[in-house]
Amino acid sequence: MSLTLLVRSLKCSGWNQARISSYKLCLSKMSTQVESEPLPTIHEIRTRIVKLMGANVSYDPKNIHLAKRDNLLKYLPRSQDELPVRTMQDSFEAAIIPLSQDLDLRDKMVTVQGAVRLGRFMEIMDLFAVYIALKHLKLPNLPADLPTPYVIVTVLVDDVTFTSYKAKPDKDIRISGQTTFVGKTSMEISVWLEQLSDGAWEKITKAVFVMVARNSNNTASALVNKIEPGNEREKHILATGLERTNMRKKESSESLLVHPPSTFEQQMIHKVFLDTIDKSNPLLGRRILPPYHVWMEATRQNSVIHLHPEERNLHNKIFGGFLMRQALELAWLCGYMHSKQKPKLWHINDVSFKQPVEVGSLLRMTSEVVYTEKTFMQVCVNADVYHPPTKTTTETNSFHYTLESLEDVEKVIPRSYHEAMMYIDGKRRYDRAMRLITE
């Protein structure tokens, strides 16, 4: 497929000019890399991460805490100006998910319907984003035989939009990514997935990861290399990254935990309330469901997982990609049970990691359909760690998904004020997802 036809296809699929520019840059770099050497597999990428981190891949239950790495602290900068400026090309990497040959990996990726488990994609993309972040970092004074003094932590995954292409479980998938924006201690990493089909690379999804750099003992934040655009296209991509950063700050400042709902949102909730009042005797305050409606609480689905060492990362915490996979699959089941049809995942918004999850924890996940509109469902998943001895919980993660059924779904109705706020938040996220999907 020619570049002109590809760009035209991207526009028809709803990609805006900023995403297309970033994608074209990615393609040009991949072409150069493919010509010079074969792409590494995702297994080889993981091996590189282990080597860069100097980590021990075996688990010792007698020593679950990582050894102190005080000797590496001296190599971390006190100012960003001490670090060399990096470009997007410095961090670019592409790799292959070898589904055509790795049968064990294929078994892990395939669904019972013969599709690919999208939750597995999130695991792999999170791992790959860590590698891109490590590749961006450069310390001139670090001896070649020492591991990196950085610890990379995923704090946010945003704007994961899936195309209509259905990935096949028996064909290789190309994953690529690069650093697209940098703060003082944070890096925004953009990651793409594509699959070769009928001689053309079909895009599957793109995700934006926000990674934070920590010091070698994971006790404080660490400064990262600045990024400088190499051409006009990269300037545009950086500007888009800044826009996303500002948008996150704006949405955080307008959160329902900070400000009350807008006048329009209050009127919307009031109408929902009036629609559920028993008109025969409104003074009793009894609420009833209109036809083809369900109470929000009736859509709730739960899971409890005992977290074993198999799911840990190199820092002996539970791998963020594993948490994303579990949440996505619970959200999909929640949407399936509500709509009675297998839904399609269109968008993931604002996956936030609030607290690290320890090995051995009891992870509880609760999913609910918080907003519906015609065929679409907005599903929220909240995760917390339950402590049986004290009967207390610690909130760790929240996840938000936009799913679509083949037919119109039953509308959800909030019963309490808390659910009303979830309903409003769900509509905000649904509206945002629709803008990104259709723009």
Whole-angstrom CA distances from 117 to 322, 368, 437 are: 13, 21, 21
pLDDT of residue 313: 82
Whole-angstrom CA distances from 401 to 106, 163, 324, 376 are: 25, 14, 11, 10
Instruction: Single out the residue of 206, 219, 212, 137 nearest to residue 174, CA to CA.
Output: 206
pLDDT digits (tens, 9 = 90+) for 143-168: 988 999 999 999 999 878 899 899 99
Question: What is the rounded CA–CA span in Å between residue 365 and residue 302?
Answer: 6
Lowest mean pLDDT among 9-13, 178-182, 310-314, 370-374: 9-13
**Bridge partners for 154 per DSSP:** 211
pLDDT digits (tens, 9 = 90+) for 76-108: 999 999 999 999 999 999 999 999 999 999 999
**Bridge partners for 196 per DSSP:** 201
pLDDT of residue 65: 56
pLDDT of residue 92: 94
Whole-angstrom CA distances from 210 to 199, 213, 314 are: 33, 10, 18
More confident residue, 426 or 28: 426
pLDDT digits (tens, 9 = 90+) for 401-430: 999 999 999 999 999 999 999 999 999 999
Average of per-residue pLDDT values in the chain: 86
pLDDT of residue 3: 40
Res. 4 pLDDT band, cuts 50 70 90: very low
pLDDT of residue 283: 63
pLDDT digits (tens, 9 = 90+) for 245-288: 888 877 777 788 888 899 999 999 999 988 888 777 766 667 88
Strand, helix or coil at 212?
strand
Strand, helix or coil at 200?
strand
Report the largest interatomic distance among the alpha carbons of the chain, rounded to a whole angstrom. 80
Spatial CB neighbours of 177, under 8 Å, sequence gap ≥ 6: 26, 91, 92, 93, 125, 128, 129, 132, 189, 190, 191, 192
Q: What structural domains does the chain harbor?
A: 3-252 (3.10.129.10), 254-438 (3.10.129.10)
Spatial CB neighbours of 426, under 8 Å, sequence gap ≥ 6: 370, 371, 378, 380, 400
Lowest mean pLDDT among 8-17, 169-178, 377-386: 8-17
Helix (H) / strand (E) containing 142? none
**Phi, psi at 259, each rounded to 5°:** -125, 150
Whole-angstrom CA distances from 164 to 14, 155, 308, 344, 347 are: 11, 28, 35, 9, 11
Name the DSSP letter for residue 144: T
pLDDT of residue 277: 85
pLDDT digits (tens, 9 = 90+) for 375-403: 999 999 999 999 888 888 888 888 999 99
pLDDT digits (tens, 9 = 90+) for 277-323: 877 776 666 788 989 999 999 999 999 999 998 888 877 788 888 99
Which stretches within 300-416 are classed as H helix? 320-339
Res. 60 pLDDT band, cuts 50 70 90: low
- pLDDT at 13 > cutoff 60: no
pLDDT of residue 343: 95
pLDDT digits (tens, 9 = 90+) for 335-347: 999 999 999 999 9
Strand, helix or coil at 13?
coil
pLDDT digits (tens, 9 = 90+) for 212-243: 999 988 889 999 999 998 888 888 888 888 88
More confident residue, 7 or 357: 357
- pLDDT at 32 > cutoff 80: no
Q: Above pLDDT 90, what percent of the chain? A: 57
